[in-house]
Amino acid sequence: MAEIVNLNRFRKAQKRQEETRQAEANRVKFGRTKSEKENDRRTEERRRREIDDKKLDE
């Protein structure tokens, strides 16, 4: 015989699992320290400056 399941509890548990997965994805996507962001900004600025220096004026 099948086990009786409370659908509201099942839905809430499923929603919690989905929110946990989403939170993990957000931590990976946005969870960078201030120094990492600053380092990336400096690297991008240096790269942009090097490209601009190599452009020819017309």
**Residue 16 within any structural domain of the chain:** yes
**Residue 48 within any structural domain of the chain:** yes
Cα distance between residue 58 and residue 49, in whole Å:
18
Number of structural domains in the chain: 1
- pTM for this prediction: 0.49
Residue with tokens 């240096």: 46
pLDDT in tens, 2-55: 898 899 999 999 999 999 999 999 998 888 889 998 999 999 999 999 999 888
- In this structure, the number of other CB atoms found within 10 A of the CB of residue 32 comes to 13
Half-sphere exposure of 45 (CA within 13 A, CB side): 6
**Residue 26 within any structural domain of the chain:** yes
**Residue 2 within any structural domain of the chain:** no
**Residue 18 within any structural domain of the chain:** yes
**Residue 1 within any structural domain of the chain:** no
- The contacts of residue 45 (CB under 8 Å, 6+ apart) are none
Strand positions, DSSP E, the chain: none
Residue range(s) defining the domain that contains residue 35: 7-54
